[in-house]
Amino acid sequence: GEGGGGAEEGAVGADGPPSLIALGLKLASLSLILCISLAGNVLFVLLILRDRHLHRAPYYLLLDLCLADGLRSLACFPAVLLSVRRGAGAAGGAPPPGTLGCKLLAFLAVLFCFHAAFLLLGVGVTRYLAIAHHRFYAKRLTGWPCAAVVCVAWVLALAMAFPPVLDVGTYRFVREEAQCTFEHRHVGANDTLGFMLMLAAVVGATHLVYLRLLFFIHDRRKMKPAQLVPAVSQNWTFHGPGATGQAAANWTAGFGRGPTPPTLVGIRPAGPGPGGQARRLLVLEEFKTEKRLCKMFYMITLLFLLLWGPYIVACYLRVFIKAGAVPQGYLTTSVWLTFAQAGVNPILCFIFNKELRVCFRAHFPCGQSPQTTQGTLLCDLKSIGI
Please write down the HEC assignment for all residues of 205-216.
Answer: HHHHHHHHHHHH
3-state class of 227 per DSSP? coil
Among 261, 273, 256, 75, residue whose Cα is nearest residue 161: 75
DSSP character for 179?
A: E
pLDDT confidence of residue 230: 59
pLDDT digits (tens, 9 = 90+) for 216-250: 888 776 555 555 555 555 555 555 555 555 555 66
DSSP character for 173?
A: E
The answer on pLDDT for 82 being more than 70 is yes
- 305-310: long-range pairs with CB below 8 Å, 24+: 305/203, 305/207, 307/337, 307/338, 307/340, 307/341, 307/344, 308/113, 308/199, 308/203, 308/337, 308/338, 308/341, 310/334, 310/337
**What global pTM score does this model have?**
0.76
Indicate the range of 164-168, 174-178, 378-382 predicted with least confidence. 378-382
CB atoms within 10 A of CB 232: 12
pLDDT confidence of residue 148: 94
> Strand pairing of 171-174 and 179-182?
antiparallel
Q: Indicate the pLDDT class of residue 360, thresholds 50, 70 and 90.
A: confident
Q: Report in angstroms the alpha-carbon separations of 66 from 38, 201, 259, 335.
A: 9, 23, 63, 20
Indicate the range of 31-35, 110-114, 163-167 predicted with least confidence. 163-167
Highest mean pLDDT among 13-22, 43-52, 81-90, 262-271: 43-52
More confident residue, 4 or 32: 32
Bridge partners, residue 89, by sequence: 92
Average pLDDT over residues 117-128: 95
The answer on pLDDT for 277 being more than 80 is no
Q: Report in angstroms the alpha-carbon separations of 79 from 30, 161, 211.
A: 11, 19, 38
Bridge partners, residue 239, by sequence: 232
pLDDT digits (tens, 9 = 90+) for 293-324: 999 999 999 999 999 999 999 988 888 887 67
Q: Indicate the pLDDT class of residue 17, thresholds 50, 70 and 90.
A: very low
Average pLDDT over residues 53-71: 93
Question: If you classify domain 20-222+281-363 with CATH, what class do you get?
Answer: mainly alpha
More confident residue, 256 or 56: 56
Is 149 in contact with 64 (CB distance < 8 Å)?
Answer: no
